[in-house]
Structures are given as C-alpha cells and as structure tokens.
Copies of this chain bind each other. A is one copy, B any other.
Amino acid sequence: MTDLASAYLIEKEPYYKEVDDEIALYEAAYAARLPMMVKGPTGCGKSRFIEYMAWRLKRPLISVACNEDMTASDLVGRFLLDKDGTKWQDGPLTLAARIGAICYLDEVVEARQDTTVVIHPLTDHRRTLPLDKKGELVHAHPDFQLVISYNPGYQSSMKDLKQSTKQRFGALDFNYPERDLEIEIVAHESGVSTDVAGKLVSIAERSRNLKGHGLDEGLSTRMLIYAGALIQKGIAPITACSVALVRPITDDPDMRDALDAAVTTFF
C-alpha cells in the first residue's frame, strides 16, 4: 500500500454497535465490489458505519460531503497552474479509484447531475473513470468500492436520483438503533450514566413520533450525545435538553411546548 493510501486508513477502531446483520452484508457486497447505497435519517450512524467497515476491511476511506454547487471537477480533478505550466490534480474520486480506497459520497442527492453521472462508468462492469479533460482513462484499483448515502425522508420528486443511477447500487436501510442499544451508545459516547441516557432516549422516542406531525425529523442519536455531554459538563439536565435537543430542532412554539413537556416528564 502506498503512503498516499495509508494516510486515509482509519487507525483506531471506531466505536460501532451492530444493529442487524449489516456487517456481514457489507462484507459480501465489498467482496463482490458491489457499489452500495446507505439510506436513513440524519444522525443515525450511516457515516460511522462506513468508517467502521473501512477500518474492519483495512481499506483507506475517502469521504466527500456532496452539495448542489459541487461540480464534476470537484470529484474528478482539475488542472492547476504550476511554474512549468498546468499540472493535473486528482479529485477525491479519482484518488480513491487509483489507490483502491472506499469512496464515500455523503448525501449524494444534493449534488448536481454531472456529479452523479460521472460515477456511472465506475459502477458497472467497466469500473473505469474517464478523465476527459486530461485524456486519460483510469481503471479502478481492484480494491476500490463506491458508497453513497442518502436520506429518503426529505427527497422531493424534483431532487431524486435517476433510475439509471439507482440501479447501479445495492442498498442498506439504516434507522435509529433499538432502545437498549441506543442507551448504550449515548452513555458510551457522552459519559452519562445509563439511567440518564435512558431518559434521553425516551425523549427522543417521543420526538420521533412527532415526525410528520410538525417535525421534519425526530431527535437523532447524535443530539442525545450532545445533550449528555452538556449534562456531563455540569449543566442541569432540563437546560441541557433545551439547548441541545429542543431549540435546535424547531422554532415553532407548539412543537417546543410538546418537546419541553417530554423533557420534564423524564427529568
């Protein structure tokens, strides 16, 4: 493995608790080099899972946060000016294809269409990436795999992946962890007791029932960890929940009341 590749290795085992059989499934998909899509709500652990799998498979991981102003060049690379003229600079996708990394395109639906089309030849039998501007055809390293994430919750029909893109991926569904597992995660990551973590998870469960009834999304595991971290720093639990859970998620007075009531029920 080259130096460049090892710079993207995950050195320390990321904290990850398996929810279902997703580890074995991903290993099979990686063995077949099947491009994968991980679906689920924000903050439920999709990015953490991919990090964990990269560590487990001992593969470098190159992540890209997609956005609607990103161009194909941001992924593929571009020419930069040098004292001897222009020099090609590989983008993260090209780099991943060359060194055999797992390339993780986070929230790929946000990207413009050219970004999503550019991955097509990497996701079928060709496993190639044409660098049209450079006149080079990159053949992907045998260890290269492409992974994309997307949140089906807030895709409008205007902004969705094309069928010709979707059909190039296997898919894993993610959701918030089961109660006991989520308590264990919140306690481990924030340092609070499992008792406090349990109360936080109970609040989250109430909020998730409000999804679609005034809330776009329920409280994520990540937010519970934030609330726990404030409690660990000595902030009163009700204040910590207000700062980390209620105020960020909504400005609607009725929703705030409903969430505040959930907080005071448990603390």
Measured CB to CB, the residues of A under 8 A from B are: 7-8, 21, 24-25, 28-29, 31-32, 34, 37, 39, 42-43, 47-48, 63-72, 74-75, 78-87, 89-92, 95, 106-107, 110, 112-114, 117-118, 120-121, 124-126, 130, 132-133, 135, 137, 151-152, 154-155, 162-164, 166-173, 189, 216-217, 219-220, 222-223, 226, 229-230, 232-235, 239, 243-244, 247-249, 251
Given A121-B63, A124-B222, A233-B32, A82:B74 Cβ within 8 A: no
Copies per complex?
6
C-alpha gap A248/B78 in the complex (Å): 32
Interface SS, A side: mixed
Cβ contacts A to B, 19 pairs, < 8 Å: A25-B243, A28-B234, A39-B247, A39-B251, A42-B163, A42-B167, A43-B164, A43-B167, A48-B125, A63-B121, A63-B130, A75-B132, A80-B86, A92-B132, A151-B164, A163-B216, A163-B217, A168-B222, A172-B243
- Do the beta carbons of B169 and A248 come within 8 Å of each other? yes
- Contact partners of A166 in chain B: CB under 8 A: 248-249
- Contact partners of A43 in chain B: CB under 8 A: 164, 167-168
- Do the beta carbons of A64 and B163 come within 8 Å of each other? no
- Do the beta carbons of B32 and A230 come within 8 Å of each other? yes
C-alpha gap A236/B122 in the complex (Å): 26
A5 to chain B, nearest CB (A): 13
A50 to chain B, nearest CB (A): 12
A263 to chain B, nearest CB (A): 14
Q: Give A27's nearest chain B residue, CB to CB.
A: B233
C-alpha gap A155/B164 in the complex (Å): 13
